[in-house]
Homo-oligomer: A and B are copies of this chain.
C-alpha cells in the first residue's frame, strides 16, 4: 500500500503508523523485533505527509481505525516531508488555510466535503439521465447580452468583447425546442463585490429546461430533484456526513412535497415576524432565513412581483403584477438554492419586456425566434451546486464546497 503518513506513535519497540491513500485511512504496526534493523530505523525519518510504501499482512482488529491493521514487513520512504508542513493539528486562520488550499484539501473534513460534492454531481447526472433529459453544454463565452452588471469580460479576436456567462438558460431554451428535456451543468460567473458566506465569483449551476412544462410541473421536478440528491448522500455518504458531524435527521425530512408559499403570503408572514419588507421588494437573505425557520424541509416561495424578477419570466394570468416563478429555500438558515420560472412564450409580451428593460434588441433576436417559430410553453430552473452542497454538508461557508474557491479577494492558488 502507498500513501501519506497522518499520525505516528512509538513505544520504542512497537511503532504505529496511520496513513491515508485518498480512499481512506489505515493503521499499520511496525514491530522492532520482527523486521530488519534498516527497516525499523526508517520509522524515525517519518513525518506528517511523508509518502511511503508498505508491505505486510492485513488482519482484523476492532480497535484500529477502519477495523483492520497491517503488520508491516517492509517500509519504503517514497517522498520525505519537511517538519514545516503548514497544516498542523491546531487552529489556523481562514486566510492561512485558503493560501494553502492545495494542502488543506488533504485534511479529513475537506476530503469529506469534496466527496459529498462528487456524490451530488453524480446524482445530478443520474437523475436526469434516468428521466430522459439530454445534457447540453452551453457556452461560457457569450456576445453582448445587455447592460447587466456583474459581468467578467475579455477581448475576443475581431468580434469585440465577450462576457463570461451568468447563466446558460437562454441557450437551454433553444435546446429544449430541439430535444424536449435538457439540462446544463457547468460553471457560471458573477463579478459582484459580495463578501457573504453564500457567494462565489465562479460557481456551478444545473439548469434544466423542459418543453411543455408549466410552473406547477416545474416545482414538482424541483422537489423530486432536491429530494433525490439528499437521499443519495444519505444512502452513499454516511461516513462523510459523520466526519462532518452532520445531523442527518434533519436531512431525512427532505421528501416531496415541499410547501408552496405565495409571495404575497410570504410578505405577510415576514411583516408579522418583524421584517420591514413591502410588497414589491425582492426577498433578502434575512427574509429567507425568517421564512425557512417555519419549515423542516425546503419551501417554495412563488409568483414574485414582475419588477423583482428577470424579464423572461411569464406573466401570471391570475395576477399580471406577478410572474410564474419560484425560489426554493433550504431549511436550517441556508435559504435560496434554486430559482425557477415558467418562461414568457408570447412574442409580443417578451418583446415589450426586453424594451422595458432597455436590453439591446439585436442581441436577443435569436431568443425571440424561439417565440416566432412554433412557440411553446416551457419552464426551467437553476440549482446552485455549492449552496446545495453546503446545506447537505451543514458547512456554514460556501467556500469549503469548492476545491479552489474564487472570491473577490481570492484568485490563488
| CB of A361 to closest CB in B, whole Å | 14
The stretch from A75-83, A243-251, A277-285 touching chain B is: A75-83
Which residues 2-51 of A sit at the B interface, judged by CB distance below 8 A?
2, 4-5, 21-23, 49-51
Q: Does A308 contact B (CB under 8 A)?
A: no
Q: Count identical subunits in the complex.
A: 2
Contact in complex: A162, B373 (CB < 8 Å): no
A143 CB contact (under 8 Å) in B110, B154, B411: B411
Interface size on A, residues (CB 8 A): 93
Q: Is the CB–CB distance between A211 and B22 below 8 Å?
A: yes
Q: In the complex, which of the residues B153, B187, B366, B404 contacts A171, with contact meaning CB atoms closer than 8 Å?
A: B404
> For the complex, would chain A's binding face be called helix, strand, loop or mixed by DSSP majority?
mixed
With contact pairs A376-B79, A409-B159 given, residues A114 and B134 touching in the complex (Cβ less than 8 Å): yes
The 8 A CB mask of A124-150 against B (1 = contact, 0 = none) is 010001001011111111110000000
How many angstroms from the CA of A323 to the CA of B180 in the assembled complex?
Answer: 48
A372 CB → nearest B CB, Å:
7
For A129, give its contact among B122, B156, B370 (CB under 8 Å).
B122
Chain B residues positioned under 8 Å from A121 (CB to CB): 125, 135
Which of A159, A181, A371 has the largest number of chain B CB atoms within 10 A? A159
Smallest beta-carbon distance A57→chain B, Å: 21
Q: How many angstroms from the CA of A152 to the CA of B152 in the assembled complex? A: 11
Complex CA distance for A212 and B20, rounded to whole angstroms: 13
Stretch at the interface among A61-69, A89-97, A101-109, A221-229: A101-109
Contacts of A171 on B, CB cut-off 8 Å? 102, 403-404, 413
A231 in the interface (beta carbon within 8 A): no
Task: Please tell me which one of the listed residues B4, B129, B374 contacts residue A4 in the complex, with CB atoms under 8 A apart.
Answer: B374
Is A179 interfacial (CB-CB < 8 Å)? yes
Residue of B nearest to A172 (CB): B403
Query: Contacts A118-B134, A129-B122, A178-B111 given: A375-B79 contact, CB under 8 Å?
Result: yes
